[in-house]
Amino acid sequence: MSNVFSQHDKLEQKPAIWRHMKILMLCWEYPPNIVGGLSRHVNGLSVQLAKMGHDVHVLTAGDGDLAVFEKMDGVNVHRIKPLNEQDNQFFSWIGGLNLAFVFKAEKLAEEIGFNLIHAHDWLVGTAAIVLKETLSIPLLTTIHATEYGRNNGIHTGMQQFIHDKEHQLIGESNQIIVCSEYMRDELIPIFKVSNKIISVIPNGIDPLSNDIEPSKIFPFLSNKKYVFSLGRMVQEKGFETIIDAAMIAKEKKLDIYFVIAGKGPMLESYRRQVIEKDVENKISFVGFINDEQRNALLLKSEIAVFPSLYEPFGIVALESMVLGIPTIVSDTGGLKGIVKHLQTGLLMVPGDPISLLEQIEFLIQNPVKAEEMGRRGRHIVKSLYGWKRIAYETSKIMEDTLLSQRVNDREKVENTESPNNL
């Protein structure tokens, strides 16, 4: 089995062993319920697997406002309420969701007969491990990020709980997928996992379109040039670096304005910092935006910036690059594997506002070079990160996982029937 996604792999390879797999996909968020990048990843992958002819069933959290079941773009989406849906304690709520997943999946399995479970992150780990045992089918897990990486270590009881759940899920998985070589190199020493069971397949992206003007969403942007950023409002995304950059830009009287979109627990804290540091004329946190609004803000931006301190992959960078926007990312994690400095974008020192401003000024002062990098970035993203390609690579891993399970089962039978065991 090839453990690393090859940029030169051709789609026309050996015929699939399982032309029609029945896949049980477990993910706590799924469109239109979008919390982070996980939701879009599972959606893009599931839709393309369904187009390939596989029978894909996604189990995800339900909130009562969405249909309990619907078929979306060929994918069977089952929305499940946690057994304790009114519980305000998140870990208890997740525990109830996993129990509900198990009950629903076991009932579905009676009529469907799943071939394989594909779990996404620790949040569905308990259900995945139980179902692997009760359904007697292999477990493939995609690890999108780790608690250790997000916090640069384990420092609290809550972090230790999540870390232990991740460790348990990884240990019980037949095969692991990660989105970058950076993530693979993170998992091996932290969880003492063998490189042999880890495959690297990047995230994918769909073509983006736009039909609206940013000024219709946010009138204050009318005729305004701006640098755009997007992400969940959490510390590891590095938005404090942009606030500090805005302060320096104000001191130096640089004509740079930042627009940052996204929701999360630190949003109000960031907005307070903008007021306290008196940079309201340099930066705006606009909160949650939908996909159409995101595309509009991206397309009209001069530059896109993603200053993450920790980023296993960085699908937001793909979203700006596929539109040809000159893009600056932190020289860390999966981001530095997406952007090649001075060719498809620029790299900044993580957490360094001066480095960020230097990259922005370079692009502003060199518009021809900026346009060229945007064009190259768009070409790379379109050629390497399409969902058709990613789904094909994932289906190969699924087939190899099923084949390995079949071989192991056969060896167990042969060992049991061996004369030495009589």
Pseudo-torsion of CA 8, 14, 18, 19, nearest 10°?
90
Residue-wise pLDDT for 8-55, tens only, equals 344 444 444 456 899 999 999 999 988 877 898 999 999 999 999 999
- Residue 161 and residue 254 in one domain: no
CATH number at residue 174: 3.40.50.2000
Same structural domain, 30 and 138: yes
Statement to judge: residues 66 and 169 lie in one domain = yes
Amino acid making up residue 78: H
In a domain, 164, yes or no: yes
3-class SS at 355? helix
Averaged pLDDT, 288-293:
87
Confidence check: pLDDT of 314 > 90: no
Residues 95, 77 share a domain: yes
Task: Report if residue 420 sits inside a domain.
Answer: no
- Reported confidence tier of residue 386, pLDDT bands at 50, 70, 90: confident
Cα–Cα distances (Å) from 368 to 196, 226, 300, 326, 373, in that order, read 45, 18, 17, 11, 9
Q: Is residue 13 part of a domain?
A: no
Distances (CA, A) of 122 to 140, 146, 162, 281: 13, 9, 7, 41
The answer, yes or no, to whether residue 387 has pLDDT greater than 50, is yes
- Regarding whether 131 and 31 lie in a shared domain, the answer is yes
Give 420's pLDDT tier (boundaries 50, 70, 90). low
What is the edge-to-edge ordering of all strands in the sheet holding 283-287? 283-287, 258-261, 227-230, 303-306, 327-330, 346-348
Q: What is the mean pLDDT of residues 392-404?
A: 94
- 8 Å CB contact between 331 and 349: yes
The helix/strand/coil state of 96 is: helix
DSSP state of 154: -
340 contact partners, CB below 8 Å, separation of at least 6 = none
Q: Are residues 144 and 52 in the same domain?
A: yes
Would the pTM of this model clear 0.85, i.e. be above it? no
Q: Which residue has the higher pLDDT, 219 or 401?
A: 401
pLDDT of residue 11: 45
| Domain residue limits at 272 | 214-384
**Residue 232 and residue 332 in one domain:** yes
pLDDT at 258 over 60: yes
Residue 343 lies in a domain: yes
Residue 3 domain-assigned (yes or no): no
Place of tokens 């932190």: 330
Structure confidence by residue, pLDDT tens digits, 111-161: 999 999 999 999 999 999 999 999 999 999 999 999 999 888 999 999 999
Please return the burial class of 292, using the count of CB atoms within 10 Å of its CB with bins 0-12, 13-18 and 19+: middle
Within 8 A by CB and 6+ apart from 392, the residues are 11, 52
pLDDT of res. 15 = 44
My answer on whether 98 and 138 are in the same domain is yes
Q: What's the longest Cα–Cα distance across the chain?
A: 86
Q: Angle 126-57-203 (CA atoms, 0-180°, nearest 5)?
A: 80
Residue 31 lies in a domain: yes
Does 287 reside within a domain?
yes
Same-domain pairing of 185 and 270: no
Measured distance CA(264)–CA(262) in Å, rounded: 7
Residue 11 lies in a domain: no
Q: CA-CA distance, 203 to 84, in Å (whole number)?
A: 33
One domain, residues 219 and 200: no
DSSP letter (8 states) at residue 346: E
Q: Is 222 helix (H, G, I), strand (E, B) or coil?
A: coil
DSSP string, 271-309: HHHHHHTT-TTTEEEEE---HHHHHHHHHT-SEEEE--S
A 10 A CB-CB count for 291 gives 15
Digit-coded pLDDT (tens) for 316-373: 899 899 999 999 999 988 888 889 999 999 999 999 999 999 999 999 999 999 999 9
Q: Order the strands of the 175-178 sheet from edge to edge.
A: 69-72, 75-80, 55-61, 22-26, 116-120, 139-143, 175-178, 198-200
**Residues 147, 218 share a domain:** no
| pLDDT of 375 higher than 90 | yes
Q: How many domains does the chain have?
A: 2
| Same domain, yes or no: 107 and 186 | yes
Buried (b) or exposed (e) across 293-314, using 16+ Cβ within 10 A? bbbbbbbbbbbbbbbbbbbbbb
Tokens of 55: 């029978």
DSSP 152: T
The total of other beta-carbon atoms located within 10 Å of residue 345's CB is: 29
Scored b (16 or more CB within 10 A) or e, 19-35 reads eebbbbbbbbbbbeebe
């540091």: which residue's tokens? 277
Predicted pLDDT at 13: 45
Q: How far apart are CA 241 and CA 52, in angstroms?
A: 43
Please give the pLDDT value at position 1: 42
